[in-house]
Amino acid sequence: MIRTETRSGATLEGRPELKIILDFIHPGETLVVTRIDRLARSMSDLQIIVAMLKEKGAHLAATEQPVDTSTAAGKAFFDMLGVFAEFETNLRRERQAAGIASAKGRGVYKGRPPKIDVEAIKERLSKGLSPTQIAREMSISKGTFYKAKSEMTQQ
């Protein structure tokens, strides 16, 4: 069975296809991925996935890397690849933070412009509109509305 997921491997959260696979894999089956870094970007997440597979009697293999957790050499190579994937993610994060700090220093980076117009929310509240109506009219989520409302009451 082939399942495809377009979510990032940066976290285990919000990955429905991975959850389905881990819930339904049977003993003796092998989860095959193209590369380990596509499955997870942190060593702890990789270890959680492999532990879940091992608990179910299943294994992990990668088509583009010599990884097969059913063998000792495969397990060792898997651990090394996991360390390098996490290292690469951390380097990327550091470079991004340095780039943002540099841009802020030059006055170039100002962050994402706010999506919510607090005055428009106040106006609609004074008209007696419900949070759902306001969110719909302004094309924002109710969570965004409530966040803006709490910020208004704090000011």
Q: Where are the domains of the chain?
A: 16-106, 118-154
Cα-Cα-Cα-Cα torsion 115, 121, 124, 126, nearest 10 degrees, comes to -170
Short-list 77, 31, 17, CA closest to 9: 17
pLDDT of amino acid 72: 86
Question: With contact defined as beta carbons under 8 Å apart, do 56 and 26 qualify?
Answer: yes
Question: With contact defined as beta carbons under 8 Å apart, do 39 and 49 qualify?
Answer: yes
16-106 has which CATH code? 3.40.50.1390
H or E element in which residue 78 lies: helix 72-106
pLDDT of amino acid 80: 83
16-19: long-range contacts (C-beta < 8 A, 24 or more apart)? 18/49
pLDDT in tens, the chain (155 residues): 787 777 776 777 888 888 998 999 999 999 998 888 788 877 788 888 888 998 999 988 888 877 778 888 888 887 888 788 788 888 999 999 999 999 989 988 877 777 678 888 888 989 999 989 998 988 888 888 888 888 887 76
The CATH number corresponding to 118-154 among 1.10.3470, 2.60.120, 3.40.390, 1.10.10 equals: 1.10.10
pLDDT of amino acid 25: 93
138-146: long-range contacts (C-beta < 8 A, 24 or more apart)? 140/115, 140/116, 144/115, 144/116, 145/116, 145/121
Task: Output helix, strand, coil percentages for the chain, rounded to the nearest 5.
Answer: 60, 5, 35
Pair type for strands 67-68 and 30-33: unpaired
Answering whether pTM is above 0.75, one says: no
